């Protein structure tokens, strides 16, 4: 029998029938890969006292598809609209702890003239980088976010031009 510890509109934390701590996402999540003219947007996001360089991401809302959730997150976090969006692939956070439903989404965007960042959510900046520039950031230990690293690997595996 499961024992609930915490629950909100996005997730539930509980002990499973073996007494193991588990986290279950209710609707899933999305990692957004904004792409413009061969460059990809990475945000500087303040989380728990650290500023991380990462792709935008968030939970999807009840009734949203992953693409709809990705486009909404793109609009909320960067005030950008997607011209064309598609699912790149599925990501699993930690199969031993978390039951999730996360998809990486590529959103093609127009050249942004001015970004309006969602500072209330900790977003401190945004820059567009080439794939090679992102690889350099990884080599310099400037990108540590597992969602960003995994999404970039999916992008590389599915794009013959990288």
Read off the pLDDT of residues 101-114 as tens digits, 9 standing for 90 and up.
999 999 999 988 77
Q: Are 30 and 102 in contact (CB under 8 A)?
A: yes
32: tokens are 């957004």
Q: In Å, how far from its chain's centre is CA 85?
A: 14
pLDDT, tens digit (0-9, with 9 covering 90-100), for 112-159? 877 888 888 899 999 999 999 999 999 999 999 999 999 999 999 998
What's the whole-model pTM score?
A: 0.91
Burial 122-146 (b: 16+ CB within 10 A, else e): bbeebebbebeebeebeeeeebebe
Percent of the chain exceeding pLDDT 70 equals 99
59's CB contacts (< 8 A; 6+ apart) are: 10, 25, 27, 28, 29, 30, 69
Q: What is the CATH number of domain 28-158?
A: 3.90.79.10
CB burial class (10 A; 0-12, 13-18, 19+) of residue 72? Answer: middle
At 59-113, the pLDDT tens digits run: 999 999 999 999 999 999 999 999 999 999 999 988 888 888 999 999 999 988 7
């Amino acid at each position: 029998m499961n024992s609930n510890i915490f629950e909100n509109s996005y997730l539930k934390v509980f002990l499973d029938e073996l007494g193991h701590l588990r986290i279950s996402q209710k609707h899933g999540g999305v990692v957004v890969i904004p792409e413009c003219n061969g460059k990809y947007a990475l945000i500087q996001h303040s989380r728990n006292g650290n500023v991380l360089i990462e792709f935008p991401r968030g939970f999807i809302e009840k009734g949203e598809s992953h693409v709809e959730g990705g486009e909404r997150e793109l609009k909320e976090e960067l005030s950008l609209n997607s011209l064309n969006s598609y699912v790149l692939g599925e990501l699993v956070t930690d199969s031993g702890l978390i039951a999730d439903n996360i998809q990486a989404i590529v959103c093609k965007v127009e050249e942004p003239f001015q970004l309006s960042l969602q500072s209330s959510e900790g977003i401190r900046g945004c820059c567009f980088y080439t794939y090679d520039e992102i690889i350099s950031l990884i080599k310099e230990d400037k990108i540590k976010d597992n969602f960003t690293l995994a999404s970039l690997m999916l992008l590389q595996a599915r794009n013959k031009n990288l």
